[in-house]
Structure 1
Amino acid sequence: MHRFKAQGISSRMMSKPQWVHPKDRLTKWNIVTGDKVAIIAGKDKDTIGEIKSVDRKTNTVIVEGKKLAKKHVPLQPAAPEGIMRKEQPIHVSNVMLLHPDTQIPTRIERRRVEKTLEDGRVVNRWTRFVRNSDVEIPKPTRKYNDRGSEEFFATSPEDTLKVTYTPSSLEPPVPSDLVKELRNIHRKK
């Protein structure tokens, strides 16, 4: 409970995760963060959403905006009126991946495929396919890797090579008032 308070979240909001015996945990996951899935059971049945996170210890996924629960919590900055809505975990057996072309829930199978990388190496990788067909289900691209080109960098490589500071032996490297401010007045001399 204390780790939730450290994050600024009420302990009433986060429920204790259901324990799953290690022998019952899935070893081969076909669903990853960012996949579009259809919910096939539960209160949001026959709806489509995107996977927000995957919990491999409890065999559950969190779908963005689905299976919302209202929790009454003490007044806090995240919930000024005292009510929070949060996505609850859904068991992985209650979601199905969508066919990439028709957007219909479909069963999938994994196959080992030889792929050629950009540098010319040939590797064997497990790939997801629609069952009984050769339609490949690609893994989603990661959202947080936005800096792909040099335009996002503020300093040009030429500016980094310019010398902008020349040290002098006459003046200290740090201003003396800053040293006085940082000095511990309670230190024993």
Structure 2
Amino acid sequence: MASKVKKGDRVIVLTGKDKGKTGEVLRSIPSENRVVVQGVNVVKRHQRPTPMSAGGIIEKEAPINVSNVAHIDPKDQKPTRVGFKTLEDGSKVRFAKRSGEVLDK
């Protein structure tokens, strides 16, 4: 089955400590039903120095469950659900159920 949330999508967080934050999906992990969203669920990790990078405490985004995010409608910037439809040329695309706008380019 095709994934409803993909890399590059604009989403809003529905629950948790980052509720209401919006961001772009940096990485999708469909096997675990998780996504990494820019600026959401930021955690601190202690990094040992390597020849390529310096050590110290770095902040990075941790994955959150895909059920805790919703797409942002391209028309009115509000949360929307996602559906699938087949266009006349036979291609399968995702669309915002709120406005009917096609999400795939």
Please confirm whether the aligned pair reaches a TM-score higher than 0.5, indicating the same fold. yes
Number of aligned positions between the proteins: 104
* Cα distance change, pair 104–59 in 1 and its aligned pair in 2 (3 A): same
Percent identity, aligned pairs only? Answer: 35
Q: Which aligned runs of 4 or more in structure 1 are off by greater than 3 angstroms? A: 75-80
Determine the structure 2 residue equivalent to 1:86.
60
The one of the two structures with greater contact order (alpha-carbon pairs below 8 A, sep at least 6) is 2
Specify which structure has the higher proportion of strand.
2
Secondary structure of the residue aligned to 1:137 is: coil
Determine the structure 1 residue equivalent to 2:104.
139
Determine the structure 2 residue equivalent to 1:111.
85
Relative to the length of structure 2, the TM-score reads 0.85
How well do the aligned residues superpose, as a CA RMSD in angstroms? 1.9
1:128 corresponds to which of 94, 97, 102 = 94
Relative to the length of structure 1, the TM-score reads 0.50
| Structure showing greater Rg | 1
- Which amino acid letter does the alignment assign opposite residue 78 of structure 1? S
Secondary structure of the residue aligned to 1:57 is: helix
Structure 1 unaligned regions, length at least 5: 1-26, 116-123, 141-189
* Cα distance change, pair 130–138 in 1 and its aligned pair in 2 (3 A): closer
* Cα distance change, pair 68–90 in 1 and its aligned pair in 2 (3 A): same
Within a 5 Å distance, the mapping from 1:12-31 to structure 2 comes to 27-31=1-5
Secondary structure of the residue aligned to 1:42 is: coil
Distance apart, 1:79 and its partner CA: 4.3
Secondary structure of the residue aligned to 1:127 is: strand
- Which amino acid letter does the alignment assign opposite residue 81 of structure 2? R
Determine the structure 2 residue equivalent to 1:45.
19
Structure 2 unaligned regions, length at least 5: none
Q: Deviations over 1:120-153 (max 9, x none)?
A: xxxx1222222265x223325xxxxxxxxxxxxx
